[in-house]
Every structure is written in C-alpha cells, then in structure tokens.
Amino acid sequence: MAFINVTWATLRTRLQERLDSSQHWVDAELLIKFNDTLRFWNLLTGQWRTTVTATYMHPSSDAYLFLSGTMIWPMRMELADGTPVEKVSFASLHLAIPGWPAHTTADGGAVPTTVKFWAPRSLQLLTLYPRPVADTTVTIDGIMDTPVLAADGDFLDLDEGLYEDLLDLAAHWAQYKDGGPKFYDSVPALQKLVLRAGDINEEIRATDIYRKAQGQDRDRDHYPRVQPLGDEADVFREVGERVTRAVRSVRRRA
C-alpha cells in the first residue's frame, strides 16, 4: 500500500460518516477519540520512530544520561564510532556485576575501557556502564511521541489502508457514548486493529489483548454467572462456593 497524507478535516468527515448521527459528537470529541486511537496504535507498534544524539557530560557520579525532546522509549544505542552498546536491565547489572555503580572506564583490569552496556532508569533517563571518564556522545534509536492533530490542516503520513482501521477504532470508542448494540457491534474494529498490530510487532502476539482479539481467551466461559453480583457479601459467597466445589472435586478424585 502507498503512503499518503490526509488532513484532519478529511479524517473528521470520514469519521462522522461511520457514526449514525454525527450530531451526538462535537468536533472536539471526535478529535480526542482519533488522537487516542493514534496513541494506542503507537503503543502497540512503535509506529513513529526517531533518532537522537545525546552526550554524557563528565564528571557525573551516577552516569545518568537524560534524553530530552520527543523520544519516549529508547530501543537501541551506539557510540559515536558506530560501536553498538548492549541494552540490559538494572537487575542484571546488580546480579552480574557486583559494585558496578563505582566502576569507570579508567579502572582497568576486568572493567571495560569503553561503555559496554546501557540500562533504562525511566522512559527518558538512562545509565551507562562503565561510567565514562570523559564526555561521551551516543546515538539512540527509539519511539517518539505520537503525533497529535489539532487543526483542520494537520495531517498524517501513513499507509493508505491503515487509515480505515484507525477510523473504525475511533468510531468504536465514540460509540461508547451511545452504548448498547451500537457499541458492541463495533467491537470487531478493536479486534482487527490489535490483530494487525500483531503482524508488525511479534511481542504483541504473546499478550492477553492479542489472545482476546483472536477469541482465544475464554476463561470467563468456564465460570458462568447466573445472576449479577450485589454487595461484598455476594462476592465472598460466590468465591466460597467455588472453593468448596473445587475441594470436593479433589477429594472425589483422591
């Protein structure tokens, strides 16, 4: 499919066409629903990527590297000469390298003389190991902030076929305002987008939301509820009955 750019004015018109009565939603509501849809898609796939250059300024006692700007999820790092730096976790540093916070590139011995690992401390705060003893510039690839549409002339540059799925999901979330059959009949729009995300990001396929979109998560079907729950006493009563049935079943098999 070709990449095309479409303005928010055009997208809003196409979104209104998907709703039975566009008078139920003002333009500001539709804008919120569509921007939320874009954020959801970026969360699932990392659609919008960016590359930033950051410099660790010596001296620093903790080797923290702060990422300013639009990157919200760093994924890959390399030194200025193109040498890749391996991503690890804080837990692995603590387990594999005792006393690692005190190590520097000037220590010698078993301690590397250049940065070998990086670990995310938060979304925009990274730690380098070992701590450099000189200013060190790195290049980082990652996911950027989701674009936010605001004016009629704002546009997105996406796969032509993707627009339809995004509009369908935005309409699904907008239908929540009406509820009832209109909302439930639009649930397949959410399932379709999640399944499409699984084709792009393999990690999504291991999540509950992906299994539910496939119709594989049927745990609730094994515990049908014959009447709605009331107060806390009803909750504890139902749980107690389930436990009693489970114990009796185990005893019979024994």
Give residue-wise pLDDT tens across range 79-121.
999 999 999 998 999 999 999 989 999 998 999 999 999 999 8
Residue 55 · residue 209 · CB < 8 Å: no
CA torsion sign, 206 to 212 to 216 to 218? positive
**Rounded mean pLDDT of 30-41?**
95
Question: What phi and psi, each to the nearest 5 degrees, are found at residue 109?
Answer: 65, -130
Say what the pLDDT of residue 229 is: 46
Cα separation, 128 vs 87, in Å, equals 10
Q: Is residue 240 very low, low, confident or very high in pLDDT (cuts 50, 70, 90)?
A: low
Q: Is residue 243 very low, low, confident or very high in pLDDT (cuts 50, 70, 90)?
A: low
- Global model pTM greater than 0.85: no
Cα separation, 11 vs 202, in Å, equals 29
